[in-house]
Amino acid sequence: MDTRFPSFEALGFTDGVLPSECPSRIVLNHVTSTWGVLVLVALARSDLRWGELRRTVQGISEKMLAQTLRTLEKDGFVLRTAQPTVPPRVDYSLTGRGREVTAHLLPLMQWIAGNADDILTGVPPAPPAPLGFATGQASISGDYRDGNEDSLYASSWSAFVADGVGGHAAGEVASATVAIRLASMLDATEGRLPGEERLRELVAIANADLALRVRMDPALAGMATTLVGLFSGGEDVLVAHTGDSRAYRLRDGDLSQVTEDDSLVRELLASGAIAEAEVADHPLRSVVTHVLGGDPEDAAALHVSAEPLRRGDRWLLASDGLTDYVPVAEVAETLDAAATPQDAADALVALALRYRARDNVSVVVADVVELSEPPAYHPAFGGSAAADPASSRALEV
pLDDT in tens, 178-214: 999 999 999 999 999 989 999 999 999 999 999 999 9
Per-residue burial over 357-388, b if 16 or more Cβ lie within 10 Å, else e, is bebbbbbbbbbbbebeeebebebbbbbbbbeb
Where is 220: in which H helix or E strand?
Answer: none
**Which region holds residue 256: left if phi is over 0, alpha if psi is between -120 and 50, else beta?**
beta
**Residue 100 confidence class, pLDDT cut points 50, 70, 90:** very high
pLDDT above 90 coverage of the chain, percent: 72
Specify the pLDDT at position 390: 76
pLDDT above 70 coverage of the chain, percent: 89
**What is the residue-averaged pLDDT of the chain?**
89
Q: Express each pLDDT in 343-384 by its tens digit.
A: 999 999 999 999 999 999 999 999 999 998 999 999 999 999
Summarize the confidence of residues 126-144 as an average pLDDT. 93
Total Cβ atoms within 10 A of residue 84:
6
Summarize the confidence of residues 298-324 as an average pLDDT. 95
Task: Compute the distance between CA of residue 368 and CA of residue 205 in angstroms, rounded to an integer.
Answer: 28
Kindly tell me if the per-residue pLDDT of 4 is higher than 60.
no
Specify the pLDDT at position 265: 72
Specify the pLDDT at position 13: 63
- Stronger pLDDT, 117 or 269, i.e. the higher one: 117
Specify the pLDDT at position 279: 64
Q: Are strands 246-251 and 254-257 parallel, antiparallel or unpaired?
A: antiparallel
Summarize the confidence of residues 144-158 as an average pLDDT. 95
Residues ≥6 apart with Cβ < 8 Å to 151: 139, 161, 162, 164, 172, 175, 176, 178, 179, 180, 225, 362, 381, 382, 383, 384, 385, 386
**Residue 98 confidence class, pLDDT cut points 50, 70, 90:** very high
Kindly tell me if the per-residue pLDDT of 5 is higher than 90.
no
Summarize the confidence of residues 146-175 as an average pLDDT. 90
Q: How far is the CA of 103 from the CAs of 37, 70, 269, 311, in angstroms?
A: 11, 21, 57, 26
